[in-house]
């Protein structure tokens, strides 16, 4: 029974595996809307369940939501399984502590040791947690990193913005002392375009203002559209692609302002790391705007800004930048590969 008295499926009475039996593989991709589960290899069927999240249950306390998540995962994991979880939150990749996730737990910022709680509930299972962007990076790298690729990155521009970088040659994903890497959505954004100061002061989901996600994320697009006075601001996700295709100047201005800081981020990455040979860009904003978004970023990256950034031609960008189509990168596929990378997740 759950804490609310709603029955779940019966948990197995005996969690032990038969002696010598190979451990079952259990993978999950956990987001604010859905939890996707797979028992077995990449070809096994996927079970999709509503996420016990703040998005779906705004009336529930954070403590209740966390307990519900632990119960769901503990209940579904097979006896003695090796579990790999892709989690839509900022995670300490060294310990499994979750620092926060607005879609899952709202504004709650107190760290929560999810891995420890799962181990307490199901000590027979080996639990490994990574951020969903890390899992997406592993899926992207497996498909697109070729011979000679030194470092590869995946940038998601969606309801949030985050980046992960992997050293392919050494099979390493470096993190800092808090087990984090690439939370770029919460970096202050430079408003350098003429007239871009109209967007100054826009809030971020974390409570601060003038972050990259304040402007360039999905919610950021809506905020920017309101600030620019667009009458269809609340329908920006549905209306913007068509407005761009129709040559609407207001839509064009919105795209330019919201893509500018993302282009600046890419310039900075290549300036700081010349061995970053490949960057994939995905997520709801980039995928939803498709060719319009790709063309705007490429236009900006082609322009020279200084002697340190002389611009990049089409051939150079073709070799290093991949705009991912919907479904092309899948964290659930990627998290199956985490076992190969875990020894290299290190500070």
Specify whether the CB–CB gap between 268 and 305 falls below 8 A.
no
pLDDT in tens, 261-291: 999 999 999 999 999 999 999 999 999 999 9
Number of independent structural domains in the chain: 2
Q: Is 70 inside any structural domain? A: yes
Give pLDDT, residue 22: 61
Q: Is 105 inside any structural domain? A: yes
From CA 293, how far away is CA 298, in angstroms rounded?
9
Q: Is 257 inside any structural domain? A: yes
What are the residues facing 87 on neighbouring strands?
A: 30, 131
243: left (phi over 0), alpha (psi -120 to 50) or beta: alpha
Q: Is 90 inside any structural domain? A: yes
Closest Cα partner for 117 from 71, 79, 84, 62? 71
Query: Does one domain contain both 65 and 161?
Result: no
Give pLDDT, residue 264: 95
Q: Is 54 inside any structural domain? A: yes
Give pLDDT, residue 15: 46
Give pLDDT, residue 226: 97
CATH number, domain containing residue 107: 3.30.420.40
From CA 15, how far away is CA 124, in angstroms rounded?
7
Query: Does one domain contain both 110 and 156?
Result: no
Q: Is 347 inside any structural domain? A: no
Give pLDDT, residue 109: 77
Q: Domain of 110?
A: 25-132+334-340
Q: Is 232 inside any structural domain? A: yes
Query: Does one domain contain both 157 and 69?
Result: no
Strand order in 321-323's β-sheet? 161-167, 151-157, 276-282, 321-323
Q: What are phi and psi of 261, to 5 degrees?
A: -70, -25
Query: Does one domain contain both 147 and 75?
Result: no
Specify whether the CB–CB gap between 165 and 181 falls below 8 A.
yes
Give pLDDT, residue 339: 84
Query: Does one domain contain both 94 and 142?
Result: no
Specify whether the CB–CB gap between 135 and 334 falls below 8 A.
yes
Element at 254 (helix H, strand E): helix 249-272
């Amino acid at each position: 029974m759950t804490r609310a008295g709603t029955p779940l499926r019966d948990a197995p009475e005996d969690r032990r595996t038969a002696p010598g039996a190979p451990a079952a593989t259990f993978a999950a991709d956990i987001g604010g809307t859905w939890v996707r589960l797979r028992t077995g290899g990449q070809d096994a069927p996927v079970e999709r369940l509503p996420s016990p999240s703040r998005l779906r249950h705004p009336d529930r306390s954070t403590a209740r939501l966390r307990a519900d998540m632990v119960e769901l995962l503990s209940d579904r994991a097979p006896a003695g399984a090796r579990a790999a979880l892709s989690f839509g939150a900022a995670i300490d990749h060294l310990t499994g502590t979750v620092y926060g996730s607005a879609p899952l737990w709202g504004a709650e910022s107190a760290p929560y040791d999810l891995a420890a709680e799962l181990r307490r509930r199901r000590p027979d299972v080996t639990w490994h947690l990574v951020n969903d962007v890390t899992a997406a990076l592993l899926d992207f790298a497996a498909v697109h990193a070729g011979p000679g690729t030194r470092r590869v990155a995946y940038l998601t521009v969606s309801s949030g913005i985050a980046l992960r970088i992997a050293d392919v040659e050494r099979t390493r994903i470096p993190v800092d002392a808090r087990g984090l890497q690439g939370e770029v959505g919460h970096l202050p954004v430079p408003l350098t375009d003429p007239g871009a100061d109209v967007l100054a002061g826009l809030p971020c989901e974390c409570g601060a203002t003038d972050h990259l996600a304040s402007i360039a994320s999905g919610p950021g697009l809506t905020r920017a559209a309101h600030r620019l006075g667009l009458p269809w601001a609340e329908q920006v996700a549905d209306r913007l692609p068509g407005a761009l295709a129709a040559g609407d100047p207001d839509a064009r201005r919105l795209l330019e302002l919201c893509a500018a800081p993302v282009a600046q981020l890419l310039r900075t990455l290549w300036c700081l790391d010349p061995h970053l040979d490949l960057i994939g860009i995905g997520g709801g904003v980039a995928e939803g705007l498709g060719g319009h978004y790709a063309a705007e970023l490429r236009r900006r990256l082609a322009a020279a800004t200084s002697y340190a950034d002389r611009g990049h031609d089409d051939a150079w960008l073709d070799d290093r930048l991949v705009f991912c189509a919907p479904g092309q990168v899948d964290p659930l596929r990627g998290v199956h590969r985490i076992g190969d990378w875990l020894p290299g997740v290190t500070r």
